Amino acid sequence: MYQLIRTSCRASPTVLCVQESLAVIAVVLLVSAGLQSSTGFGFALLSAPVLSALLGPVQAVTTITIVGAVVDSLTLFGNRSRPRPALADLRVVCLSAAPGLAVGAVLLARLPTRVLQVAIAASVVLAIINRLRRRRIVVTNLWLGPAAGFAWGALTAATTAGGPPLLLYLMHRHDDARTIRDTIVAANLIRLPLSLALLGLTGAWHPPPGVPILIAAGVCGWALGKLVFRLLTPARYETALLTLLALTAAATVAAAFQ
């Protein structure tokens, strides 16, 4: 659908085409925000392909950064209960993500996008298989936290799909859905100033038209996701996350060979 809209709007850039594109983007952001609010994961993975096709990569990244920051802030602070991030894990992954971001920028410049996408998909599939076989382990290795943070930073910089290693690490560390979700969201917010600085320094900060409408769509998605989260038992939450990871791997492979 979005490919058809993009083609027709290029041929005839009318006000109607702009409105149609804005409507599609708003719906995508609403669904993505609901996913992020209910699981703490998946906002960029779901919205980035569509937004990149309609807006171009630069405006897509800016849009995801703006709306994602609003959704993450509401997810963490928009509830009556206090946030419950795992502070020890949060400290480890955020500190180790900094060098990962630098390495990811180098990988983005040196390696073909297809190689990075296939590598992500393969690592996600292997991690899911390991998780299903072992189900619950206690992560005691001191290097696993820094490794997850480093991979999160590197993959975020190289592909914007940095969530899987962080998510899988936290799933091994914790059973509580709120702790997992709040830790991922808090990590995103801690990383936000660096992301904004990089966008500004590289001249890649280009908000699209209709930002208030897109933010409103994100807020509506957050509210829906908040309701869904209340219905998720621990078993359903883990099943939802593993299913989402599997779909992410499949979508990544499909994108790599388009």
Alpha helices in the chain (DSSP H): 2-11, 15-39, 43-55, 57-77, 87-110, 113-134, 144-159, 163-173, 177-201, 211-231, 234-256
Query: Would you place residue 1 in the very low, low, confident or very high pLDDT band (cuts 50, 70, 90)?
Result: very low
User: What percentage of the chain exceeds 70 in pLDDT?
Assistant: 79
Q: Per-residue pLDDT for 185 more than 90? A: yes
pLDDT in tens, 196-215: 887 788 787 889 889 999 99
Q: Which tokens go with 171? A: 């799933």
Res. 125 pLDDT band, cuts 50 70 90: confident
pLDDT of residue 137: 47
List the structure tokens of 121.
């998909």
pLDDT in the model for residue 77: 93
Compute, in degrees rounded to 10, the torsion defined by CA atoms 93, 96, 99, 100.
Answer: -40
Please state the domain extents for the chain. Answer: 2-256
Query: pLDDT, tens digit, for every residue of 107-123?
Result: 766 767 677 667 767 76
- What is the per-residue pLDDT across 32-76, written as a single tens digit (0 to 9) for each? 999 899 888 878 877 877 787 788 777 888 899 899 999 999 999
Question: What pLDDT shows up at residue 108?
Answer: 63
Mean pLDDT of the chain: 80
